[in-house]
Structure 1
Amino acid sequence: MPNPAPDIILFDGVCNLCNGFVQFVIRHDPAGRFRFAALQSEAGRVLLLAQGLAPAAVAAEPESVLLLSGGRLYSHSAAVLRIAEGLGGGWRLAALGRALPAAWRDAVYRFVARHRYRWFGRQQSCMLPTPALKTRFL
């Protein structure tokens, strides 16, 4: 049986909060289940187009993290909850967040996403992975 395709986290590569989230996932994902692509990268644009999304439209929305898993694209709080669950261990408790209505979860997500640059700052360019992590980035 072939290995399933890895889950891919698409993130805002210039956002400090998003980069911190990617570093968090890397630290808590020693098995390397997740791969990463900045939304601004060529790989990110190709993945978005393959999902029928225009990269410019995604940039206009307050998206900071998307998850491509099993051929399906998850956004907003659904993406974050699925990523946390995928880390295993105690992070699976994040599934309890689904008890809240998606509209509420997504409202909080959008609020943070809209203010992320002001609160956490941004970089001039996307982060460069270390040589040891390069294989996890597309």
Structure 2
Amino acid sequence: MQQKSQTPTYLRDMDFPEGKKIILFDGVCNLCNAAVQRIIQRDRQDVFLMAPLQGPTARELTRERGIDTEQVDSIILIDPGVAYYIKSDAALEIARDLKGYRWLPFLTGWIPRAVRDWVYDLVARNRYGWFGKRQDCMLPTPEIKEKFLD
């Protein structure tokens, strides 16, 4: 008897709705939660789904891709079946799909990744001290619950 895959069906790339991208974020970081709220407000084409890095969906998606969440612990963008992006690349890729922010990749994309990621890492390292930290992951309101995977 053949054993079924241990990967839950909803995590397989082929099962994600076409055209959707997944943002994995630090669910206890106030800065990250504010960014997620802004993304939801600006996601006029309904492109993004969200999952906190502390949840089972993010654990499975990062494991499948070999992403070390000890090294990248603030934002990851997954475009199922295409690629994943981390740090400043993730932020710029997200901006491409947001009303009012599409200009950002053109303005800052020419800056070398090493410089962009240095600034990104500086903010990421200090985000709890500068912006605070929650005890638990954000609970989505009923109006935006369908945007979250867990």
TM-score, structure 1 as length reference: 0.89
Find the partner of 1:122 among 130, 133, 141: 133
Q: Which has the larger radius of gyration?
A: 2
- 1:116–1:62 CA distance, 2 compared to 1 (3 A): farther
Root mean square deviation, CA, Å? 1.4
SS at match of 1:92: coil
Find the partner of 2:73 among 58, 63, 69: 63
5+ residue gaps, structure 1: none
Q: Distance in 2 between matches of 1:25 and 1:34?
A: 8
* Offset at residue 51 of structure 1 (A): 1.1
The 5 Å alignment of 1:30-41 reads: 30-41=44-55
Q: Distance in 2 between matches of 1:20 and 1:52?
A: 27
Find the partner of 1:9 among 20, 23, 44: 23
Deviation per residue, 1:110-138 (Å, 9 max, x gap): 00000000000000010000112111100
Find the partner of 1:51 among 62, 65, 78: 65
Question: Where is the helix percentage greater, Structure 1 or Structure 2?
Answer: 1
2:8 maps to what in 1? Answer: none
Aligned length: 131
Identity of aligned residues (%): 45
The amino acid across from 2:145 in the alignment is K
Indicate whether 1:112 and 2:123 are aligned: yes
